[in-house]
Structure 1
Amino acid sequence: MPDSRQHRGPHPQDLGLFDDQHRQALRSATEDLSWLLSRGYALTSCLKLVGDRYRLRARQRLAVARCACSDEARKRRRRNQIQSCDLAGGELWIDGYNVLTSIEAALAGGVILCARDGCFRDMASMHGSYRKVAETLPALQLLAERLSDWKVARCCWYLDAPVSNSGRLKTLIEGIAEQWGACWEVKLVADPDPILATADQTVASADSQILDVAPRWFNLARRVIEEQIEGAWIVDLSSPGKATVSKQP
C-alpha cells in the first residue's frame, strides 16, 4: 500500500501509551534496562525481561530501548559532546534522516523522547522509504536558521542512498541552502553510519552506534526542538525521578 502520510505526527495509540498514567513504568523500565546494560547484558534479552516486568506494549518497549544506555556509554557520549559555541567557523557533518525526522515529528506533535544520554529521539520509522511531509520544509528552514546563527561555515549532509526518495530530499536540502546562501553539500551514500562514526569533523546525530565512536558530536535535533518548537511533546526518561511529559496533543 502506498505511503500517503502528510505529517510525521503521533501514532494513534501514542496518546494512551505515553500519558501520565504510564510515565512511572516507562521511567523505571528505562532505569532497569540501563542498569542491566551497564553490567554487560545483551539488549534484546534485557528488553524482553524489562518489558515483561512492566507489561509494556511494543511501542513502549521501543521507547525504552531508545532511551536506555549503559553508564559507560553515557559518560563517553557526554565527554565527546560539544556546544554550539564550538561550531563557529567549523564544519558539521549531519546524519540527515536521523536529524530531520526528529524535527519533523516535533513539528507534527509526535512523541519526542529525551533519552538517558541527553539526546532527543523520535518514534518514527521509514522502513526503507522516505516521504516528504508538511513539516519537511519548515524543519529544514529551522535547521538553516540555527546553523546560520551558530555561524557554521560548512555542512555536509549524509543521506542513505538505498532509502527511496533520497534524491528528492537532496534537491530540497540544496534548495534551502541556496535560499540561505549556506555552504551545504548533500551526499547519497550506501550507509552513512560508518562514515559519520569515524569522521574527523563534528557530527550531528542521535544514533547511539555513531555516538559511541564519534570523537566529536553536537546535539543538533535537541537544540533546534528546544529553542524553536514551542510546545513539542517531550517525554523525558533521561534520569530517575525525571519522567515528565511536557505536553500532550
Structure 2
Amino acid sequence: MIFSEFFKDAILDYIYFIEKDYSEKSVLKIICDRYGLSGVERTILFRGITKKYIANKRKQKIANINDLKNQTIFIDGYNVLITIASYLEGNFTFVGNDGVLRDVCESHGIIRNEDLLLKALFLIFDYLDKNKIKETYIYLDKPVSFSGILSQRINKYFNEEKINGFCETVHSPDYNLKNLTDGICSTSDSTIIDKTNTKIFDIPKNLLEFYYSPQFFSIERFINPNFDLIK
C-alpha cells in the first residue's frame, strides 16, 4: 500500500486534535481536505485511531492465545468473518492504535462474496479447534438475509463434528456481547470492546498471522519506527 506523501503528518495532526477533545468527524473532514487523503487513508484515521487513554484501556482487555484454552468464546459473527474474508479478498487491513485488526471496506454487514465468507468460517473452526476452545457461540445479525441459512450450516457442522458450539441469529449481537459477564469476546467493534466486561480475543489478527504470516500495517509503528522497542 502506497500512502500519500503527508499521511504521517495527517495522522499526527488527527491525534493531536482528538486528544484536545475536538469533534472527531469535524477534525477528520478538515484533515482529509487539507492533506487530500484517499478514501482508504480516511478510513484508517476514522476506524484506526482513538484517544490514547481509550486505546490503552482496550489493549488491557486483549487476550492472547494462551488465554483461550478451555474457555468459552463469543463471536461477533459478521464482524469477524468479514474482516477475515476482506483480507482473503486482497483488501487492505491494518492494526489500529488500540492494537485491534480492522479492514477498510466498511461493508456494514453486507455479504459480497459468500464463498470467501465460508472459507473464513472454516478457518475459524480449524483455528479454534487447534487451540482447545471449550465452547463456541456465534451471533449473527438477524436482519441480514443470509443469516438464517448460515446459522443452519454452522449448527449442522457443529453437530456433525461433535463440536460444543451454537450459532444464533439475534436482532443485535452488540447487545449480547456488551452484556457478557464471563468467557472471551471476539470482535473489532469499538463500542463492544469498550462496554464488555470480558477479555477480547482478536480472531482475525491471530488467525491470519497463524495461517498466512502477513506483515500488517500498524499505525503505531508507522508514526514511530521504534514502537516495538519501547513497548
Rounded to whole Å, the distance in 1 between the matches of 2:12 and 2:131 is 34
Residue type of the alignment partner of 2:219: L
Aligned residues: 222
Question: Is 2:193 aligned against 1:206?
Answer: no
Question: Is 2:219 aligned against 1:228?
Answer: no
Which residue number corresponds to residue 9 of structure 1? none
Give the TM-score, by structure 2 length: 0.86
Q: Give the secondary structure class of the aligned counterpart of 1:181.
A: coil
Structure 1 unpaired stretches of 5+: 1-17, 243-249
Which residue number corresponds to residue 78 of structure 1? 59
Residue type of the alignment partner of 1:80: K
| 8 Å CA contact 2:208, 2:214 repeated in 1 | no
Rounded to whole Å, the distance in 1 between the matches of 2:60 and 2:43 is 26
How is 1:11-160 mapped onto 2 (pairs within 5 angstroms)? 18-19=1-2, 21-22=3-4, 25-127=6-108, 129-160=110-141
Which residue number corresponds to residue 15 of structure 1? none
Residue type of the alignment partner of 1:218: F
TM-fit CA distance, 1:128 = 5.5
Q: Give the secondary structure class of the aligned counterpart of 1:126.
A: coil
Structure with the greater relative contact order (CA < 8 A, sep ≥ 6): 1 or 2? 1
Structure 2 unpaired stretches of 5+: 226-231
TM-fit CA distance, 1:131 = 4.4
Aligned residue among 132, 136, 146 for 1:165: 146
Distance of aligned partners of 1:119 and 1:162 in 2 relative to their CA distance in 1, 3 Å threshold: same
Q: Give the secondary structure class of the aligned counterpart of 2:115.
A: coil
TM-fit CA distance, 1:135 = 1.5
Rounded to whole Å, the distance in 1 between the matches of 2:224 and 2:160 is 44
Rounded to whole Å, the distance in 2 between the matches of 1:175 and 1:126 is 27
TM-fit CA distance, 1:47 = 0.7
| 8 Å CA contact 1:128, 1:164 repeated in 2 | no
Rounded to whole Å, the distance in 2 between the matches of 1:34 and 1:169 is 40
Which residue number corresponds to residue 224 of structure 2? 241
Which residue number corresponds to residue 229 of structure 2? none
Percent of aligned pairs with the same residue? 26
Residue type of the alignment partner of 2:201: F
Worse-matched range after superposition: 101-110 or 133-142: 133-142
Rounded to whole Å, the distance in 2 between the matches of 1:125 and 1:148 is 29
Which residue number corresponds to residue 217 of structure 1? 200
Worse-matched range after superposition: 121-130 or 74-83: 121-130
| 8 Å CA contact 1:101, 1:124 repeated in 2 | no
Q: CA RMSD in A?
A: 2.1
Distance of aligned partners of 1:218 and 1:48 in 2 relative to their CA distance in 1, 3 Å threshold: same
TM-fit CA distance, 1:132 = 4.5
Give the TM-score, by structure 1 length: 0.80
More helix by share: 2
Distance of aligned partners of 1:121 and 1:146 in 2 relative to their CA distance in 1, 3 Å threshold: same
